[in-house]
Amino acid sequence: MHVALIDDSPAVLDSLGLYLQRQGIAASCFPSADAFVAAPPEPFDCIVADVRMPGMSGLDLVRRFAEEERDTPIVLITGHGDVDMAVAAIKLGAFDFIEKPFDEARLLESIRNAGGARERKLVADAELADLRARFEGLSERQRQVLDLAVAGLSNKEIAARLGISFRTVEIHRAWMMERTGARNLAELVRMDMMVKGAR
């Protein structure tokens, strides 16, 4: 894993950076959120940022990432936390909110959970893109058969609705199942819901 540490306290950066390195996690340190944003972009697995810093705050960074639809999870740490701030941070999209002085093991667990969540999301996004491509590869007629099949119509009903033979519906349905990779109708329905839900 590669983590970005953002804090205006050099002592916090040093101690956290050394702790994470001992846990086998690479850490890049930044003295402010402004310095982090100004730096060349890197593919971080997680960002740990102090809430209160000169210039851009940790909450401001979370808000900016949400507006830019960036999916790198952000764990906020603060010595001045309260319930309202924690709720606001989570609503803005922060992955976690930890008050100082914090247990380093608790922070490590949060960082690993955040990195794992991002990895799972990247895998899910890739699978969805592949699924969408398979659905887009269907012909117009296959798409019509699919829509009627997931709506619960039988092959006989689909044939009557589309004005084609029962055998033609069977052929289209077989091709449709092969191209989408669905093993049965229930799986095809779930796939169709995923593709439509992502639009």
Q: How many CB atoms lie within 10 A of CB 91?
A: 10
Q: How many CB atoms lie within 10 A of CB 20?
A: 21
Instruction: For residues 29 and 35, give the distance between their C-alpha atoms in angstroms, rounded to a whole number.
Output: 10
Confidence bin at 198 (pLDDT 50/70/90): low
Q: What number does CATH give the domain 137-197?
A: 1.10.10.10
> Was domain 2-124 assigned CATH 3.40.50.970?
no
**Tens-place pLDDT, residues 70-124:** 889 999 988 776 667 777 888 888 999 888 777 888 899 999 998 877 777 777 7
Distances in Å between the alpha carbon of 10 and those of 7, 14, 30, 60? 7, 6, 9, 21
End-to-end CA distance of the chain: 31
pLDDT of residue 190: 85
Instruction: For residues 25 and 123, give the distance between their C-alpha atoms in angstroms, rounded to a whole number.
Output: 21
- Structural domain boundaries in the chain: 2-124, 137-197
5: Cβ contacts below 8 Å, ≥ 6 apart: 13, 16, 17, 20, 27, 28, 29, 30, 48, 49
